[in-house]
Structure 1
């Protein structure tokens, strides 16, 4: 892995209020710029053949209106699919919405943004970002490594390695800063979420 600090700083994070069908919600927003045209980045995040190389095997009826299942992770419905710009789907529950947007960022550069929105009743507070944000950071990191030609080997082993957990610990700190900047959670809520996230994502540090 490149310098962990460099990889953490390549990701832009924010936490904000959002509207949902169930009222007030919380959105976790993650953005990173990749080398490559939007068409190739889109293919990497939607192709059943390429997804296992950096993310996980995904099965299902992979089209707008279809369903999907990520191995050992969430499944859901594909609500919108506009290649190579927009993918919107449910993630684990009908009221958990993930929207992925790709935009050109200059010559041979693509911005990828993930926006994950849930009702406040599910998140509890903006501190809920710490339960999902570090996982998305891991995905964006692995996508960057894959697109740069790295052989990632066994993904679970890499994520659970000391280096992978050090990245997650840095990610947790960055998400805690984003939660505090949002002013949408108390310090007690944020501290409790940091503890829970560390236990899950970096248990050996």
Structure 2
């Protein structure tokens, strides 16, 4: 199960009038942010293969000041989420992003601050539970795929105190965290049935 490293990057430039400030005199915090956002996508794509830990990166929130159309942005705050099933790859990419923020700020002669929010380690799920669930799928001829979870779930915490596993069911076009998210009721029922039978078999085998 993948784990996140989350941090904020704050660029501090100088707010100026958008009409009277020449381009070569600007200290635009938002332009610096745009360069870093593009870098997050670029570096995460380089580490996106399964062999490199399937790293993903998201700049999910941004605050801009003064936030008006007629002023050069003097301050920009980015919230960055880097995730991977490999702690080494995740930490490496997070370090690269932070270093690039420093480089961008230096080149543009503006300030930058990095605030770490949290960093967690990937959590392996129980292979015995995987074996039971996979056997049930084979017995019932249910199509399945063994895959890592890119999202954090309660199982991430439960795995610290007890064997944990997860059963995913398909969502249309893989869309999640979106009003368009949709899972067929038949798949929901099948997933619930598989979960119940997994629990019964685990209890009977006293795993």
TM-score for the superposition, normalised by structure 1: 0.32
TM-score for the superposition, normalised by structure 2: 0.32
Rg bigger for which structure?
2
Higher relative contact order (CA 8 A, sep 6+): 2
Q: Choose between structure 1 and 2: higher strand proportion.
A: 1
